[in-house]
Amino acid sequence: MHAHNWDWRQECVDTCIVLRICNANGPDILSFTEAGALARHGLNSNGVSLTGNAMSCHKDFQHGPGAPVVLLRRRLLEATNLAQAMRTVWSANRYCSSNMILAQSSATDGCCVSLEAAPDEVYPMLPQDDVLVHANHWLSPVALAKLRDPGLAARPDSLYRQHRVESALRTVTNRAIAWDDVRSTLADDFGYPDGVLRSPKPGDFSSISATVATTLMDAAKGVMWVARKPYESCEFQEYAL
């Protein structure tokens, strides 16, 4: 189960698409992205899935030029397996920080990893008790010892968003986590309008900030569900490879 809340410019509600890409020399891809962009997050026919989060550190934009994040994400979705996707992150010439959660799923098994990628180093983190959560701040103890995060002052809510999602999923102890659990967790509006589900408010980039879309992915089945403007109504549209 791979899921994501995308917080960005509210106007992107009307400029996002789902791309179904048929590759002659690689896995087919299902990707949610802005129109005109290569990829934001998605899955492929080999069961590889990807979501990404904005990150920042004091080394950003100091060692350019580098590969745009959308190009790197597209390359990850073209990976034949999880190992190739991870190698692609390590070998990329990165211009700024970002976090990428990568996974590979089959009908009976799965594995995932969170890669906190600074321009010059990658800090991996594995799930704890089969749960892996990431917001918009650094979690790796090694990264925290090395990096300054100028973005956390602008988005301190990342700290409690991380905690609330992780805590909510870990309270499911007597059964397997279900999609209803994931949907309700991503709809948490504690701290309104700065919740896990972000309601529209003026952003720090001369625009309106909001949770543009909630995306759920079952990569083993090649299925994605997207809820547009989830702060108004969590109605999911299904897309499939």
Q: Report pLDDT for 106.
A: 94
Q: Is the previous residue joined to 193 through a cis bond, with omega within 30 degrees of 0?
A: yes
Q: How far is CA 74 from CA 78, 173, 174, in A?
A: 6, 36, 38
Q: Report pLDDT for 233.
A: 87
Least Cα distance to 234 among 160, 159, 183, 165 occurs for 183
Q: Report pLDDT for 158.
A: 97
Question: Residue 89's pLDDT band (boundaries 50, 70, 90)?
Answer: very high
Residues 6+ away with beta carbon under 8 Å from 83: none
In degrees and rounded to multiples of 5, residue 84 shows phi and psi of -65, -40
Q: Mean pLDDT across the stretch 156-178?
A: 96
Whether residue 63 has pLDDT greater than 80: no
Q: What is the pLDDT of residues 4-60, one digit of tens each?
A: 999 999 999 999 999 999 999 899 999 999 999 999 999 999 999 999 999 999 999
Structural domains of the chain in order of their starting residue, each with its CATH number: 2-240 (3.60.60.10)
Q: With pLDDT > 90 as the criterion, what percentage of the chain qualifies?
A: 89
Structure token pair of residue 176: 């397997």
Q: Report pLDDT for 43.
A: 98
Structure token pair of residue 213: 């879309």
User: Mean pLDDT over all residues of the chain?
Assistant: 95
131-164 burial string, b = 16+ CB within 10 Å, else e? ebbbbbbbebeebeebbebebbeebebbebbbeb
Whether residue 116 has pLDDT greater than 80: yes
Residues 6+ away with beta carbon under 8 Å from 238: 223, 224, 225
Question: Residue 207's pLDDT band (boundaries 50, 70, 90)?
Answer: confident
Whether residue 64 has pLDDT greater than 90: no
How many helices (H) does the chain have, and how many strands (E)? 5, 12
Structure token pair of residue 40: 């934001």
Residues 6+ away with beta carbon under 8 Å from 137: 55, 149, 151, 152, 155, 158, 159, 162
Question: Residue 225's pLDDT band (boundaries 50, 70, 90)?
Answer: very high
Rounded to 5°, angle at Cα 209 from 206 and 214: 150
Q: Mean pLDDT across the stretch 151-179?
A: 95
Least Cα distance to 69 among 86, 87, 92, 91 occurs for 92
Whether residue 152 has pLDDT greater than 80: yes
Q: How far apart are CA 70 and CA 76, in angstroms?
A: 10
Residue 99's Cβ-count burial label (10 Å; 0-12, 13-18, 19+) is buried
